[in-house]
Amino acid sequence: MTAVSGETPTIDISSFGLVFFEECAEHLAEMERLLLAIDPGAPDPEELNAIFRAAHSIKGGGGIFGFGDMTVVTHELESVLDLVRGGELGLTRPMVDLFLQAADVIAMQLAGHRDGAPVERDAIERVCGALRGLLAGTAAHAAPSVAPLPDGPPAAEARRYRIGFTPAPDIFCRGIRIENLFDELAGLGGLTVRGEVAGAPQLPHLNPELCHCRWELELETTAPEAEIRDIFEFVADDSDLAITAVDAPTAAPAAGGEEPAPRQGAAPAPENRGGREQAEGSIRVGVGKVDQIINQVGELVITQAMLAQLGAVLDPVLFADLHRGLQQLSRNTRDLQESVMSMRLVPISLVFSRFPRLVRDLAAKLGKEVELRLVGETTELDKGLVEKLADPLTHLVRNALDHAIEPPAARLAAGKPAAGTVTLRASQIGGKIVVDVMDDGAGLQREKILKKAAERGLAVGDQLSDDEVWQLIFAPGFSTAETVTDVSGRGVGMDVVLRNVQALGGRVAIASETGKGTRITLSLPLTLAILDGLAVAVGAEKFIIPINAIVESLQPQAGDIRTVNGTGRVLQMRGEYLPLIPLHALFAIGGAAERPEAGVLVVVDSEGDRVVLQVDALVDEQQVVIKSLEENYRKVPGSAGATIMGDGRVALILDVGEITSLWRGKSRERAARA
């Protein structure tokens, strides 16, 4: 066959498989969420329908894309769920546990196809066997009585549907097998298929990778139309599919032109499902592409800053048009940056949603009663942070259940409710995302921690403050557990939490009260790319202070500065005494103003504590692109990264919290020497 110019380019089939993997993971997450929330004694019919639809969608997608093994478990699960939602099988707590195990197995199979992870065949057989046992038990129970119960729902009547299916020309290139689709339909009832070829090009110009067929199908089934549409969910848009009920059962006309009531137990029609509407209003874009756009916008911000600096020296009268253009460029750059950054912001619920299952299973394993509370789930943060935050939070939640929450008997003896509470709370404070992991357990035991630290050879003493004692639990290999279990006790976890959070430019703080509980606070930057900052001069150097950390700036009088023994100089301002941190002394910069009244003081908020930074001058407010110092140079204490200024020079971005900690450490050293 002669090669034809202008042929359709080869399409990467794997990209469509990735879409299925993502949607399958979403269905599994939704199924788990619903199963954890459902009341077995009085299940919500809509929730049962949603769980069934999730299983059915996974089954249909797995069959269409050739992942036949994933349809085995979902078929059995779907069959049991269908009996439950139809009222033929009562839902129980052990059944919910089994459904969750089935979801775990499906997730394992998904990971096998997506990541090449190992798949345990025994686990698949165990779950399938248990699900078949439920079906067999239902059949045996129903065998003596063939007639339906008088007050039960009427038996579904078979309907005949005519289905017109005109697939997109590239359907084969997307890895979709039409025969699998028809097998799914045949599983619902009697199916006849007729194919038509119309408008196909002549043989010399025919591209065999494209589809030129359309199909007319007739299906006789008791399934609702919504279930038929679900089969086409991954392969057809609404414009490609036409479903018509040919001989639908007649029903009494509705009075007053009202719509007839839907059948009891039927799934909602697709047009009423928010998930489909939401999918039609969104598009999936790879994270790599978003990161590429963010990097390009970052370079644009740097270029805009350079142009603004060059334009600042030009006469605003002679170059009025140029100045207006530069101002418009600045506004457009800021708007573009905000729009692009919002593309990477996702709700922290993506992380929080995994913990109800973790707490439920771990509490049962430890013989404890634990209630999980989630607060601030809609708080948004950078997607890169979300992915890296999951592991530290998992360690903290596991530790809270194992170490902090007491057994029910001990809690009752202490006058507490038998069920403990673990709270995950997220909030945005300025430019920081603050995540608290709180429990109402026994609290940290100071003496026990000091004893374990001494046994490990750590330098400790009774003079340590509580905050300093709590920090000992972050030492590598440190654990207060008496025995090693598969939950904890090996001394790994808290050091991982600290290391991971610090790698994200964040900090970890602990507050604990014996008998009342513990709060561990993770403070993280809102985004990893661009921030609004104030450029300040210290000698010949420039630094960037994040705008969201600044309270106010002022030029003090000599009488406003006091000296306090053991603390150093402080600023007296409106009845408060705020610690004064001269940046030139902290970073050993020569040529800077020594006296505070000769420079400018910037009052900043350091996670609830206000301190004052002494600088020489305020330079300009601008957007800066955060560059990692650790990746390109090394860790610089007191900095959260660096940026490139408009003149091409590198300026450090200050980490206000770390600056405060460094200065207090130096103050203690000076006091000890004195």
Could you tell me the pLDDT band of residue 419, with boundaries at 50, 70 and 90? very high
In terms of Cα–Cα distance, which of 341, 397, 479, 659 is closest to 389? 397
The pLDDT, as a whole number, for residue 174 is 67
Tell me the sheet residues that pair with 510.
520
Does residue 566 register a pLDDT over 70?
Answer: no
For residue 235, which phi and psi values (nearest 5 degrees)? -120, -15
Does residue 113 register a pLDDT over 80?
Answer: yes
Does residue 151 register a pLDDT over 50?
Answer: no
Percent of the chain whose pLDDT exceeds 90: 15
The pLDDT, as a whole number, for residue 538 is 94
Q: How far apart are CA 166 and CA 239, in angstroms?
A: 9
The pLDDT, as a whole number, for residue 325 is 94
The pLDDT, as a whole number, for residue 634 is 78
The pLDDT, as a whole number, for residue 425 is 94
Amino acid letter, 56: H
The pLDDT, as a whole number, for residue 608 is 65
What is the average per-residue pLDDT within 395-400? 89
What is the average per-residue pLDDT within 546-558? 87
Q: How far apart are CA 591 and CA 14, in angstroms?
A: 60
Contact 432, 525 (CB under 8 A): yes
The pLDDT, as a whole number, for residue 437 is 94
The pLDDT, as a whole number, for residue 440 is 93
Q: How far apart are CA 286 and CA 401, in angstroms?
A: 36
Could you tell me the pLDDT band of residue 413, with boundaries at 50, 70 and 90? very high
Mean pLDDT of the residues in the chain:
79
In terms of Cα–Cα distance, which of 180, 176, 167, 169 is closest to 13? 176
Does residue 512 register a pLDDT over 50?
Answer: yes
The pLDDT, as a whole number, for residue 251 is 43
What is the average per-residue pLDDT within 183-199? 80
For residue 4, which phi and psi values (nearest 5 degrees)? -110, 130
The pLDDT, as a whole number, for residue 8 is 40
The pLDDT, as a whole number, for residue 10 is 42
Of 91-100, 142-151, 252-261, 282-291, the range with the highest mean pLDDT is 91-100
Could you tell me the pLDDT band of residue 16, with boundaries at 50, 70 and 90? low
What is the average per-residue pLDDT within 533-546? 91
Find the range with the poorest average confidence among 53-67, 85-99, 472-486: 472-486
Residue with more model confidence, 234 or 464: 464
pTM of the model: 0.58
Q: How far apart are CA 471 and CA 508, in angstroms?
A: 9
The pLDDT, as a whole number, for residue 526 is 65
The pLDDT, as a whole number, for residue 23 is 81
Does residue 492 register a pLDDT over 60?
Answer: no
The pLDDT, as a whole number, for residue 544 is 92
Extended strands (E) in 430-546: 432-439, 507-513, 517-525, 530-538, 541-546
Q: How far apart are CA 236 and CA 629, in angstroms?
A: 48
Residue with more model confidence, 660 or 368: 368
Q: How far apart are CA 306 and CA 287, in angstroms?
A: 29
